[in-house]
A and B are shown apart, each in its own frame.
Chain A
Amino acid sequence: MTAFPERAGEIWVYLSANPLFWLTAVLATYLVADRIAETCHRHPLANPVLISTAILATLLLSTHTSYQTFFDGAQFVHFLLGPATVALAVPLYRNLGRVRETLVPMSCALLIGSLTAIVSVVLIGGLLGLPVAILASLAPKSVTTPIAMSLAKANGGIPALTAAFVMLTGIFGAVIVTPLMNALRIHDFAARGFAAGLSAHGLGTARAFQVDPLAGAFAGIALGLNGAVTAIVTPLILPPLLHLLGA
């Protein structure tokens, strides 16, 4: 009979390569993170995605597990993002009256907000001396991952790096939106939700749903619309911006 530590090692080798283990780990970590967020009275800093990501990333790095192995299990959760995006039609439909009333402010906020998100990140990054490939990867950071990645690819960026930037933007936006809007005394949930969805895509939308259903509906609209606007605008304004920076 093999000694226990040796057997434990074997079991770990089996488990850590098994989709079941990482799928369970994602769900369990989320439950723990959500409980922590609840204990902190949903304080914006106690964001469940932020906490879960930190725990799981630490676990992967300390056990030398590849992201691919992790994703073999986590993909079952990841897959539900598609149907969940489709499900955004329900709050949109329920709040249609409110949406119709705000068509004009929404269009203005969409155009100006979208340009701000793209131009500011490229200019600041450029002034701080980031290389062109990283700037092009940063430009679509405020939109949902699939759009952002294809935009990075088309404009000289690195799609995989863009995916990381999109996540960092989403987590930061979700954490900051509530305190920022309170500080600015903007209490209109339509405006708050719209800003969250535009600036921080799905993660901002998830945060908006935690706060208020109307905010969630507007965040969902902003996420979809800004994806389209950014896709059209980025190829037009990125080259002159980079030229301006002398890159």
Chain B
Amino acid sequence: MIAAITGLLFCQLLGEVLVRVLMLPLPGPVAGLAFLFAFLSLRGRDQGDGRPAPVPLELAKVCDTLLRSLSLLFIPAAVGVVQYIGLLRSYAGPIAIAIVISTTLALIVTAGTFRLVSRLHAFRRKTPPENIEAALDEARHP
């Protein structure tokens, strides 16, 4: 377990260094995510059956535990809202309306675009083989 935690922290550390060196507009942990992903992909290349190797058991345990309690980890930052309670109160109405409508819109537009494009994309990918099938059918039964 210690090895897995050290690995996670090490990836984060690499990420923090990388974003500072390259001055990337990303938080260090997001770059650290890329490092861990690269590590998993590189070691899991060849399993013989063409499927990716499973995540090392210990690492999987630590990561799954952290992600299961992801909500808990946001609480300290969320409580920070108390610092601005005065300012938030004086503009409460407009701020609440803007956040509620904008977040709802973003959810609808994002999920809608995702669905629409995947349908179009799947349709385009499916069409040619089906056409071939139909053409072959026609050739067999003129």
Among A81, A163, A173, which residue has its beta carbon within 8 angstroms of that of B73? Answer: A81
Q: Are A209 and B80 interface neighbours, CB within 8 A?
A: no
Question: Could you say which residues of chain A place their CB within 8 Å of the CB of B52?
Answer: 93, 96
Among B12, B15, B44, B114, which residue has its beta carbon within 8 angstroms of that of A195? Answer: B114
Q: How many A-B residue pairs have CB under 8 A?
A: 305
Q: Are B62 and A109 interface neighbours, CB within 8 A?
A: no
Question: Could you say which residues of chain A place their CB within 8 Å of the CB of B114?
Answer: 102, 105-106, 108-109, 188, 190-191, 194-195
B94 located at the interface, meaning its Cβ lies under 8 Å from any Cβ of chain A in the complex: yes
Question: Could you say which residues of chain A place their CB within 8 Å of the CB of B103?
Answer: 117, 141-142, 169, 172-173, 176, 199-200
What separation, in Å, do the CA atoms of A85 and B29 have in the docked complex? 6
How many A residues touch B, CB cutoff 8 Å? 107
In the assembled complex, how far is the CB of residue A183 from the closest CB belonging to chain B, in whole angstroms?
Answer: 10
Q: Are A196 and B107 interface neighbours, CB within 8 A?
A: yes
Q: Are A67 and B95 interface neighbours, CB within 8 A?
A: no
What separation, in Å, do the CA atoms of A216 and B36 have in the docked complex? 17
Q: Which of A52, A90, A188, A216 is the most central at the interface, judged by chain B CB atoms within 10 Å of its CB?
A: A90
What separation, in Å, do the CA atoms of A60 and B82 have in the docked complex? 8
In the assembled complex, how far is the CB of residue B54 from the closest CB belonging to chain A, in whole angstroms?
Answer: 8
A60-B79, A105-B121, A120-B101 known; A81-B95 Cβ under 8 A: no
Among A88, A161, A168, A195, which residue has its beta carbon within 8 angstroms of that of B110? Answer: A195
What separation, in Å, do the CA atoms of A85 and B5 have in the docked complex? 13
**Cβ contacts A164-176/B at 8 Å (1 or 0 each):** 1101111111001
B68 located at the interface, meaning its Cβ lies under 8 Å from any Cβ of chain A in the complex: yes
A67-B80, A134-B95, A206-B70 known; A29-B75 Cβ under 8 A: yes
In the complex, the chain A residue whose C-beta lies closest to that of B62 is A87
**Cβ contacts A136-172/B at 8 Å (1 or 0 each):** 0010011011110010000000001101110111111
**Cβ contacts A209-244/B at 8 Å (1 or 0 each):** 110000010001010100110011000000000000
Q: Which of A26, A29, A113, A172 is the most central at the interface, judged by chain B CB atoms within 10 Å of its CB?
A: A113
B55 located at the interface, meaning its Cβ lies under 8 Å from any Cβ of chain A in the complex: yes
A87-B67, A194-B114 known; A113-B109 Cβ under 8 A: yes
Chain B residues numbered 3-62 whose CB sits less than 8 Å from any CB in chain A: 5, 8-9, 11-12, 15, 25-30, 32-37, 40-41, 44, 52, 55, 59-60, 62
Q: Are B82 and A161 interface neighbours, CB within 8 A?
A: no
Q: Are A173 and B37 interface neighbours, CB within 8 A?
A: no
Q: Are A74 and B76 interface neighbours, CB within 8 A?
A: yes
**In the complex, the 4 A-B pairs of residues with the closest C-beta atoms, listed nearest first:** A113-B110, A74-B76, A231-B25, A85-B29
Q: List 11 A-B contacts (CB under 8 A).
A: A67-B80, A85-B33, A87-B36, A90-B55, A102-B114, A104-B121, A117-B106, A121-B98, A195-B114, A198-B106, A224-B26
Q: Could you tell me which A residues sit within 8 Å of B by CB distance?
A: 26-27, 29-30, 34, 47-49, 52-53, 56-57, 60-61, 67, 70-71, 74-75, 77-78, 80-94, 96, 102, 104-106, 108-110, 112-113, 116-117, 120-121, 124-125, 128-130, 134, 138, 141-142, 144-147, 150, 160-161, 163-165, 167-173, 176-177, 180-181, 184, 186, 188, 190-192, 194-196, 198-200, 202-203, 205-207, 209-210, 216, 220, 222, 224, 227-228, 231-232
